[in-house]
Amino acid sequence: NAGVTQTPKFRVLKTGQSMTLLCAQDMNHEYMYWYRQDPGMGLRLIHYSVGEGTTAKGEVPDGYNVSRLKKQNFLLGLESAAPSQTSVYFCASSYHRAGNQPQHFGDGTRLSIL
Amino acid sequence: DQQVKQNSPSLSVQEGRISILNCDYTNSMFDYFLWYKKYPAEGPTFLISISSIKDKNEDGRFTVFLNKSAKHLSLHIVPSQPGDSAVYFCAASARSNYQLIWGAGTKLIIKP
């Protein structure tokens, strides 16, 4: 029973490099989310998706792109990494929208940008 | 402008006693509130929630109280156990959008 799986778990990038974070869920959830968590702050929503083929901006979308080509996968891309994007990234999914249903989270990706 | 505030970064409680974690919010449009628990190197896990039409919700050792007039909610854990040591996040959402707004978290330490 995997739930939400994030890959990779750790990554170190140099400024300007690009990378993609992968999130996969096996619960047939419609809604998926990408958050970042920084020290002393709560989770902040980057982008979210309400179904296959859809994406929308969250609170802090700048510098990130996302795609949801398959219902079970939600990809987060950094086109040109910046030190300000050093953070822990969490993916989550839920059956219904955030307020009415709890979100299920992956264990996070710790990303460092040098 | 923090819409959800957890003013205590940490809290230490004796095993067996009651733990009370607090959360304040500013947006009167919030109508659903959730508490999540997070262990190191893991993602948050859902603990308990409450709708704005209620003022209390219980689930085993966990009870959440909502005071809408004060824009305040609290999580009570009775009795506290060593496995309760974790970071607790309060989160809120409004019916008008999909976003959860999160507090910064409170680290709960249960002392033996």
How do residues B14-37 score in pLDDT, each as one tens digit? 999 999 999 999 999 999 999 999
Is B98 within 8 Å of A31 when comparing Cβ atoms? Answer: yes
Of B32, B93, B98, the CB nearest to A48: B98
Which residue in the set B43, B93, B104 is minimally distant from A108, CB to CB?
Answer: B43
Share of chain B above pLDDT 70, in %: 98
What the block records as the tokens of A102 is 């709890």
In this predicted structure, the answer to whether residue B11 has a pLDDT above a threshold of 90 is: yes
Please determine, for residue B96, whether its predicted confidence score (pLDDT) is greater than 90: no
pLDDT score recorded for residue A105:
97
Beta strands in B1-112 (DSSP E): 4-5, 10-14, 19-25, 30-38, 45-51, 56-59, 62-67, 72-77, 86-94, 100-102, 106-111
Q: In this predicted model, what pLDDT tens digit does every residue of B48-84 receive, in sequence order?
A: 999 999 999 999 999 999 999 999 999 999 999 999 9
The CA–CA distances, whole Å, from A77 to A17, A23, A51, B109 equal: 11, 11, 18, 36
How sure is the predictor about B94, in pLDDT bands with cuts at 50, 70 and 90?
Answer: confident
pLDDT digits (tens, 9 = 90+) for A69-100: 999 999 999 999 999 999 999 999 998 876 66
- Compute the residue count for chain B: 112
Query: In this structure, what DSSP letter does residue B83 have?
Result: G
- Token pair for residue B94? 């409004």
Whether omega for the bond prior to residue A8 falls within 30 degrees of 0, making it cis, is: yes
**pLDDT at residue A98, rounded to an integer:** 63
Which chain B positions have a beta carbon within 8 Å of A45's beta carbon?
Answer: 99-100
CB-CB: which of B46, B49, B98 is closest to A97? B98
pLDDT at B80: 98
The residue among B96 and A55 whose pLDDT is bigger is A55
Does the distance separating the beta carbons of A4 and B89 come in below 8 Å?
Answer: no
Give chain A positions within 8 Å (CB) of B100: 43, 45, 98-99, 103
Q: Is A38's Cβ below 8 Å from some Cβ in B?
A: no
CA distance B11 to B21: 8
Q: Which of A110, A97, A96 is nearest to A38 (CA)?
A: A110
Beta-carbon-side half-sphere exposure of residue B100 (alpha carbons within 13 Å): 34
The pLDDT value recorded for residue B95 is 77
d(CA B40, nearest CA chain A) in Å: 9
What is the DSSP secondary-structure string of A54-90? --EE-SS-TTEEEE-SSTTEEEEEESS--GGG-EEEE
* B86: chain A residues, CB-CB within 8 Å: none
Distance CA B107, CA B91 (A): 15
Region at B27 (left for phi over 0; alpha for psi -120 to 50; beta for the rest): beta
Residue in B with minimal Cα distance to A47: B99
| 8 Å CB contact of A42 and B44 | no
Which ranges of chain A have pLDDT less than 50? none
What pairing do the DSSP bridges indicate for beta strands B72-77 and B19-25? antiparallel
- Top residue of B7, B98, B101 to mutate, by most chain A CBs within 10 Å, is B98
| pLDDT exceeds cutoff 70 at B102 | yes
Selecting from A42, A105, A108 the residue whose C-beta is nearest the C-beta of B4 gives A42
Q: For residues B40 and B91, is the Cβ–Cβ distance under 8 A?
A: no
In whole angstroms, what is the distance from residue A105 CA to residue B81 CA? 24
